[in-house]
Amino acid sequence: MISFSDARKQVMEQVKPITDIEQVAVADALGRVLAAPAKALIDVPNHDNSAMDGYGVRFKDLSLDQPVGLEVIADLPAGDRLTKPLGGGEAVRIMTGAPIPDGCDCIVIQEVVTWEAGGQLMVPPGQKKAQHIRRAGEDIAKGEKVLPAGRRLGPADLGLLTSLGLVEVACYRKPRVALLSTGNEVVEAGTPLKPGQVYDSNRSSLRGALQSLGVDIIDLGLVQDDRKAITDILARGGEEADAVISTGGVSVGDYDLIKEVLINQGQIHFWKVSMKPGKPQAYGRLGKALFFGLPGNPVSGLVVFLLMVRPALIEMMGATPEPERILRLPFKGSHRKKHGRMDFVRGVVHFDGRKAPWVETTGPQGSGILTSMSKANAFIVLPEGPVKLKDGDEVSVLMIDYG
Ligand code: AMP
Ligand code: MG
């Protein structure tokens, strides 16, 4: 049995990031990984523009100690521009975002001006040169690198890319991940269960987890605990996918055939990890594909996916890993463990704003109790060796992240 951290290190060492690159429309690029830094094609903002609704004036027309009357010669909503330079004694009505006319070097906000009976605009003293003007390139200068290669694009990134004038970006190809479940007792939902049968919940939650991650999924379905069937399906996965994920059949039971087939068809690196849930796992290789054999227990499968497989897939996507969100929080309730494995207790971190965040367990922690994963937003991480927790103890908490 190897430790959790050694197991994770070994898995990460096996991963080769995908290097194939394709052009992706920005509109379709949510969750995609940039293969090259995104550079601005234009200045952002593209032109000097007004930061306020008000009046554009020439600073040299103003006085330091008394109001000055100016003639408003044009109205400039955002999107319009003045084609001639602003002359002596002239002002323009200007809206936020509208381009600054030539000659104009000061915006006077509309709240401070007054009007003469003859329709002249009166500007009070105390204005400053260049006030309320946003300069071209002030946010981003043309040619500047705005997002690094390896960035997984989020919604704000898409807006940013569009603001730079980009329509397409170079991204790494998405990993193709094959998914299958095994078990003679496992059946597809949609038919009544016969005694001893369970619905295939693993493929459902893992498919969701893979969708959140944004990989391409090859659904290999459900196979019986049959040497030939498993051999055939793993061969297919090894040919078509960059990674193959199976659930079930990695323990020491009579029908646990995954390890055996993996040894015959590929390579196995390790299969027992000192963690709970998720002790039995099978890691290895099928041809060019990485192989992740997850345990069949629904909680164990998801926990192992999140802690071992997801970081590996993020690396495979070519993405720069984001730091894990780890907190030290006060524990509420009581909890005891006697076993020597590292424990990932399903927990709920409460952020209610009335007091500092705190964490409690989701309740019963059996590895078949899928409600514990459904309720959880975090793992309470307990070290190897016995642990006894009581109210107020400080614990390490790892926030759960599927995306
Ligand atoms: P195994 O790892 O194959 O020994 O399975 C461990 C436990 O998980 C057994 O109780 C199985 O019935 C259950 N199990 C295995 N595969 C699935 C699945 N795809 N969906 C739901 N439960 C499963
Ligand atoms: Mg099984």
Predicted pLDDT of residue 270: 84
Q: Which DSSP helix (H) or strand (E) runs through 99?
A: none
Chain Cα centroid distance, residue 380? 22
pLDDT tens digits, one per residue of 55-78: 999 999 999 999 999 999 999 998
Show Cβ contacts of residue 74 under 8 Å, excluding neighbours closer than 6 positions: 82, 92, 93
Residue 116's CB: how many other CB atoms inside 10 A?
Answer: 10
Secondary structure of residue 270 in the 3-state scheme: strand
Q: What is the DSSP string of 368-386?
A: T-HHHHHH-SEEEEE-SS-
Question: Percent of the chain beyond pLDDT 70?
Answer: 100
* Helix 227-240 with 258-265: angle, nearest 10 deg: 50
Predicted pLDDT of residue 93: 97
| List of E strands, 125-199 | 133-134, 145-147, 168-172, 176-182, 186-187, 198-199
Q: Could you say which residues of the chain have pLDDT below 70?
A: none
Predicted pLDDT of residue 72: 97
What is the sign of the dihedral through the CA atoms of 372, 278, 183 and 235?
positive
Among 100, 297, 76, which Cα is nearest to 182's? 297
Predicted pLDDT of residue 271: 83
Question: Percent of the chain beyond pLDDT 90?
Answer: 96
Ligand nearest to the CA of 198: 1
Q: Which DSSP helix (H) or strand (E) runs through 237?
A: helix 227-240
Q: Residues lining ligand 1, judged by CB closer than 6 Å?
A: 181, 183, 185-186, 198, 200-203, 247-249, 251, 253, 295-298
Ligand nearest to the CA of 187: 1
Predicted pLDDT of residue 116: 95
Distance 337 CA to ligand 2 centre (A): 26
Please state whether 214 falls in left (phi above 0), alpha (psi between -120 and 50) or beta.
left
pLDDT tens digits, one per residue of 212-224: 999 999 999 999 9
Distance 33 CA to ligand 1 centre (A): 34
